[in-house]
Each structure stands twice: as C-alpha cells, then as structure tokens.
Chain A
Amino acid sequence: MQRIREEILIFNIIIALAIISWFFFPIFEIKSINYGLSIIPLGFKIQLFTQQYLLISPLTIAGIAFLILSAIIPLVWTSSRYSLYTSLSALSFGIVMIINTFIYQQRYLHFYGYSVLPTSTGYFYILFPSSTIYGLPLYLIIASFVISILNAATRARWLYPRRLTLLEKLYSELQRGEVIKGLQSLINSLGIYATVEGNVAKVEDLVLTKANRIEELPSDVSIFFPKGEQIIIGDRKVVYIDKEGNVEYLNLNEGVKLALTKIIEKVNFNNLSTNEKLYK
C-alpha cells in the first residue's frame, strides 16, 4: 500500500476531530435561561422551558456526509493530485451546507431579535436575553478547510517545502506503478538519448521494462534470447539479466538503483553536470 503523506494525515486528523466533536458539541448555539437552540449533526435541537424537540435538517446531514467524503477521498485515491482538489471541493460543499443551515436559522427561526418556534397552528415568538456561541467543531472545520487549500495548492507538500530530487520523483512513480514513466522523465531531465515506446525504455543496449508475467512482456523483448542487458520490473521483484545471460533477482528499491546505475553507465555521463542534475 502506498504511504500516506503526513500533510494528508494532519488534514484527516483535524477533519475527524471536527466530525466526532460535532456529535458532542454543537456548531452553533443560542443559550438563554428558558430557551436554547443548537445546531447538531441531525439538525436543530430546540429547548423551551422543559420541552425539547429536534427539527431534522437535510442540510446538516448532507454537510456531515460531505465532511466524511472529503476525509476519505485522499486516503483512498492516492494516485493523483486531483484527489486533493476533489477533497477540497467536498469540504467546500460541506461548509456551504453549514452556511445554509445558518441562513435557514436566521431566516426561519429568528425574527427581529425574537426566536421563532414553529407550532402546529402557527409560530410562537419569544424574546429572552440570550448569548450566541460558535462551537469547537466550527473552528476545526475552518482549520481543516485552510489545510485542505494548502494541500491542494502544494500537492500536499507544505510540511517540508522543497523540490523533489529526480530520484525521489522516480521512487514516487515506482510506488504508483508507473516506473517506466518515471524513468522516462528522469532520462528526459538528464538529456540522455533513449527511446521509450509504451512500457519499454532502451538506453544503448540496456532494455528497461515493466512486466510481472510472461504475457505482460512487450513483444519486442525476449527473455530467452536477450540482446544486451535487461531490467524487468515486476510487482514486487526486479529481474536483472546481464550481458552474459545470468539472471539475478532484486527487490524493487535495489532494482531501481541498479536501473539508474546502468543508465548512467551506458551513456558515460558521470560528470559534474549529471550529478548536479540528479540531485537538483
């Protein structure tokens, strides 16, 4: 499984705290001696003297569903930065639902300083000295919104702000199962002459490809009569067939290191400018 970035974890912890705390503390509350109104995940909880009732609102339910969705998306969809944008959109929808809840409260449950209580025959207007409280979940939602914007803007790389090295980019592509794409970008960055067709990259007589089973092997790559050297990257192991036809198995990290060493070896590129490019 791909490692979850710390920036995503921070966002998820805060949004999880916001969701959980909303079940214990209202997002918004009007409090007075004999009257109270609070916005909870199911809607409006209204209390008058000893009477208490719940006005169920689809807005708050939809709001909490969007908050949960925004937390799940970056955990499940890790292959693209678009998950961060989708998560931010879901969170924005959740916040819009909460704002709409406030508007509903102001529009239908409040009138010129009076609190409005709907009854079976009409409305009941009451005026008590009251205080308004914004609860902890609201602040946590605002904090998670800021972090989500930050994640979307920086591709969740704001904790240690620096550019990725080419090697780190390659490892990141490897984790996504796009190692040939990563190698292609590395080859391009170094200005090495190579041919990349589909899942096969060729540098001089070195063939790099991705295949876990024989049927996945590109038709122009032969493991039985190899020409030159071959590095075949599987799901969990890498096969290296040397010039003489010896077969060696390596784990993925070792295999990628070998692929890089061989590429540089092939183009005899071990000079200052290459080293500068590799670690930039």
Chain B
Amino acid sequence: MIIRIISLKGGIGKSTISAFLAKYLSEEGSSKVLLIDKDNLNFSSFLINILGAKVDINKEKLEGYDYIIIDYPTAEEKIESKDDDIVILVSDVVTLNLITKYAKELKGIKLLIVNMVSPLPGDLEEVNNMVEKLDFDLKFVIPFIPKVFSMPIRKDKRTEIPAIRELAKLIKEKIKEVQVERSFK
C-alpha cells in the first residue's frame, strides 16, 4: 500500500507526521515499512533516526513492503495518485481551503490532517466544527504538542503523537472498510 503525504505549506508538520506514521506502522514487527523521503530537507529521515524505528529509508527496490510512505516536498505541482493509494493531506488552519480544493484533483483514499492547531479547548472545537463539513474519507485535528516541537533538539525517542498512532491503527485495521464503502459509491 502506498501512502502519499502532502502539504501546500512548509513548517506544518508533514515530515513529522510521515516519520511517526512510519514508526507506528512498523511497530510490533508485523509490517515492513519503507519511507521515501522526497523532501529537500530530509527531515523525516532525520526523525526516523531519532525515533529508532525499524523503517527502511529511500531504498531503490520497492518490492516486499507492506507500506510505502512517500514524504513529498511542499507541493508545487499535481501529484499522480491511484485509486487504491492513501493520500494524507496535511494542513494548518490557514491553508485549509486551499488543501480542500487541491484534494478534489487527487485520486485515492483521502485523509485530512489539520495540524498544529492551538491546543486550547475552544480553538480545537472550532477547528473540529470547520473540518466536520469537509469532504474527506477521514479527518484528524491535531493540537500543537510542545514535546513534538522540541523533539529534534531533545532527541527524545519516547515522544508520541497519539492521533497518528490512532491513524496507523486505522490504516492497519479499518482502511479496507473505507475502500469497500467507496467501491459501492
């Protein structure tokens, strides 16, 4: 399964999400995961090393993997996706409208992650209400987590993003259900 991770704006956590998703999918040793780090900063590869995850990075050979995660550079052109791909669109509140328009051109199971939202309950609730109306197969709103933000400096491999762990679980268990549902649409 190919998981494409895209954002229209830099600095909103796309590479962090890629690295954590790769880590969670590879956990318990049940799945082989490859991370293709296309971003110019190679930040997701850097984070994989900090997290110490059993994930292959940037291999030429693509066979034999259960999940191939592609961390794209901040999107300037359209990305070609297939119907059975998972496309994760990472956005902040500012680029939410743009990413929604952008997503319409893409194929595949589309997941939206609104990241780095102010963690205060009222702000989070407001963004949740905004996101609820949008047409994506799955939607996540993730608050700003100070520990994740400072992870590259603290190099703490115990850092967690519970929402991405949940996403990995859903991808492992439930994403097939989404595919079945879509085939009947």
- A residues near B (Cβ < 8 Å) are 211-214, 216-217, 223-226, 232, 234-239, 241, 244-247, 249
Q: Give 16 A-B pairs besides A224-B146, A232-B120, A247-B146 with Cβ atoms closer than 8 angstroms.
A: A211-B120, A212-B121, A213-B122, A214-B118, A217-B120, A223-B119, A226-B146, A234-B121, A237-B121, A238-B121, A245-B145, A245-B146, A245-B148, A245-B150, A247-B144, A247-B147
- Contact mask for chain B residues 92-131; partner A; CB cutoff 8 A; 1 contact, 0 none: 0000000000000000000000000011111101000000
- Chain A residue numbers with a CB within 8 Å of B125 are 236
B120 lies within 8 A of A214 (CB): yes
- A241 and B160 contact, Cβ closer than 8 Å, known pairs A224-B149, A247-B143: no
B144 to chain A, nearest CB (A): 7
Give the residues in chain B near A223, CB-CB below 8 Å.
118-120, 144, 146
Q: Are B121 and A245 in contact (CB under 8 A)?
A: no
Q: Mark B64-97, 1 if CB is under 8 A from A, else 0.
A: 0000000000000000000000000000000000
- B121 and A235 contact, CB distance less than 8 A: yes
Report the contact-size class of chain B (Cβ under 8 Å from the partner): 10 to 19
> How far, in whole Å, are A238 and B147 apart by their CA atoms in the complex?
18
Ordered by A's residue number, 25 sampled pairs between the chains whose C-beta atoms are within 8 Å are A211-B120, A212-B120, A212-B122, A213-B120, A213-B122, A213-B123, A214-B118, A216-B122, A224-B144, A224-B146, A225-B146, A226-B146, A232-B120, A235-B121, A235-B122, A236-B125, A237-B121, A238-B121, A241-B146, A244-B147, A245-B145, A245-B147, A246-B145, A246-B147, A247-B144
A239 to B117, CA, bound (A): 13
- Min CB distance A117 to B, Å, is 68
Give complex CA distance A238, B148 in Å: 20
Please name all residues of chain A whose beta carbon is closer than 8 Å to the beta carbon of B148 when the two chains form the complex.
245
Docked CA distance A211–B118 (Å): 12
Q: Which residue of chain A lies nearest to B145 when distances are taken between CB atoms in the complex?
A: A247
- Interface SS majority for chain A: loop
Q: How many A-B residue pairs have CB under 8 A?
A: 57
Bound together, the chains give a CA A209 to CA B57 distance in angstroms of 44
CA distance A238 to B124 in the complex (A): 12
A245 to B145, CA, bound (A): 6
Interface centre among B119, B145, B149 (most CB of A within 10 A): B119
Inter-chain contact B145/A236, CB cutoff 8 Å: no
B156 on interface, CB distance cutoff 8 Å: yes
Beyond A232-B120, A234-B121, is A245–B149 a contact (Cβ under 8 Å)? yes
A239 touches B147 (CB 8 A): no
Residues on B with beta carbons closer than 8 Å to the beta carbon of A239? 119-121
Q: List residues of chain B with CB within 8 A of the CB of A224.
A: 144, 146, 149
- Given the complex of chains A and B, what is the CA–CA distance between A235 and B143 in angstroms? 17
A217, chain B: closest CB distance, angstroms: 7
Complex-state Cα separation, A244 to B145, whole angstroms: 10
Closest-CB distance, B121 to chain A (whole angstroms): 3
Find the B residue at minimum CB distance from A230. B146
Query: Nearest-CB distance from A50 to chain B (Å)?
Result: 69
B156: A residues at CB distance < 8 A: 244
Q: Is the CB of B122 within 8 A of A234?
A: yes
Give bound CA distance, A247 to B117, whole Å.
12
Do residues B123 and A214 form an inter-chain contact, with CB atoms below 8 A?
A: yes
The chain B residue with its CB closest to the CB of A246 is B147
* Nearest CB in chain B: distance from A88 CB, A: 38
Query: Can you list the 10 inter-chain pairs with the closest CB atoms, starting with the nearest?
Result: A245-B146, A245-B147, A234-B121, A212-B122, A237-B121, A213-B122, A214-B118, A247-B145, A244-B147, A246-B147
- B160 and A246: CB pair below 8 A? yes
Complex: A212 Cα to B144 Cα, angstroms? 15
| Alpha-carbon distance A264/B66, docked complex (angstroms) | 49
Q: Give bound CA distance, A147 to B144, whole Å.
A: 53
Q: Which of B145-166 contact A (CB under 8 A)?
A: 145-150, 156, 160
**Cα(A244)–Cα(B149), bound, Å:** 11
Give complex CA distance A213, B119 in Å: 9
Which partner residue on chain B sits nearest A213 by CB separation? B122
Given contacts A245-B149, A245-B150, contact A234 B120 (CB under 8 A): yes
Max chain A Cβ within 10 angstroms of own Cβ: one of B146, B156, B160:
B146
Do A241 and B122 touch across chains, with their CB atoms under 8 A apart?
no
With known contacts A224-B144, A224-B149, A247–B120 Cβ distance under 8 A: no
